[in-house]
Structure 1
């Protein structure tokens, strides 16, 4: 109506939320705490077959990369020796829990 002040949308949302909270806790329900980093189960997310295939290929290369690390080589030297990108060598090392020398 003309001349009648409109209610604040924010106030009506807050009042509705408070009413729903009162109903929730009034019914004896409790809050469920979810640990940080835990999410709901979603269909379609996670490792794909392509990612699984790439990881399997890297697992086959891991012994050669580990031999380079055990020989005391740096990531760059191992990558040059194995004709790989240094990023891939670091990823293989990370996935298989071994480290390279900081300098040779």
Structure 2
């Protein structure tokens, strides 16, 4: 209709959401607190199997790298010695809770 103001779409969405909230709480449902970073969603791309395989490979390298870290060398020296990328070595150290000496 010409000359008749259009209703604001945002207002109708807010009204609908408020109605749904009233129905939810009116039915006796309660709010659940979900911890940050926790989700029930999983990826459907199939990458989780690949990620798990990479993680198990890193877990196999961890004891050797932890022994190297205990000798007091830096992550770059460990990378040179083991021919593993430094970023991967630092990731393994972070995942397993040990640190390499800092370079000065």
Q: Equivalents in 2 of 1:76, 1:16: separation in Å?
A: 58
Larger radius of gyration: 1
Indicate whether 1:76 and 2:79 are aligned: no
Q: Equivalents in 2 of 1:46, 1:94: separation in Å?
A: 25
Q: CA, structure 1 residues 63+7, in 2 after alignment: closer, same or farther (shift >3 Å)?
A: closer
Q: Which TM-score applies when normalising by structure 1?
A: 0.72
Two-structure CA RMSD over aligned residues (Å):
2.6
Q: CA, structure 1 residues 24+53, in 2 after alignment: closer, same or farther (shift >3 Å)?
A: closer
Report the equivalent of 2:24.
24
* Unpaired segments ≥5 residues, structure 2: none
Q: How many residues align?
A: 104
